[in-house]
Amino acid sequence: MITVRPAGPGDGDVLGEIHAVSWGVSHGPFCAPGVAAAGVEERRGKWHGVVAEGGEGILLACLNGRVGAFARFGGSTSRAGVAEIHTFFAHPDVWGKGVARVLLMAVLERARDAGYGEVHLWTLRDSAQARRFYAKNGFAETGRTHDHDFGEGPLLALVELERAVPGR
């Protein structure tokens, strides 16, 4: 059974673990080894502070009571009046089990309830798995791209995807 709930004060460890493991698998191969290791550690520790600040806009998806994925969303940092999925990660243990799709639908429902008609996000250009997931769930590439510097090593290209919020 898959359930979705808001993040709470005690969720920093599980958020950090999911983010660290999934980021290491999805982004790590594209980074220099030292950058990948530092990125994993930074993600493992950052969520206690985020949750302590209120953790608004963070949803957790649980498979049989165990947290397997999370998303952080809210107003766009670059497009007025549009919602943005700022962070979306699922632990590799739940890939292919429907957890991410249920979580994404919950995020879209919350965006609709907040009055948004459209949502966008940025993902790695070279992450075929992420791009397939978002395309399968109604997202289309906008044609906008930018490079992101995760530290030493090559810049990584990001692509923007968007979709309408259902029911708007």
What is the residue-level pLDDT of the chain in tens, covering all 168 positions?
999 999 998 999 999 889 888 888 887 777 766 766 777 677 777 888 888 887 679 999 999 999 999 999 999 999 999 999 999 999 999 999 999 999 999 999 999 999 999 999 999 999 999 999 999 999 999 999 999 887 666 788 999 999 999 986
Q: Which domains does the chain have, with CATH numbers?
A: 2-164 (3.40.630.30)
E strands, the chain, in order: 2-6, 58-63, 66-75, 83-90, 118-124, 140-148, 156-164
Residue-by-residue DSSP string for 121-152: EEEETT-HHHHHHHHHTT-EEEEEEEEE--SS
- Looking at residue 22, what is its pLDDT? 86
pTM of the model: 0.91
Q: Which of 95, 99, 160, 94 is nearest to 125 (CA)?
A: 160
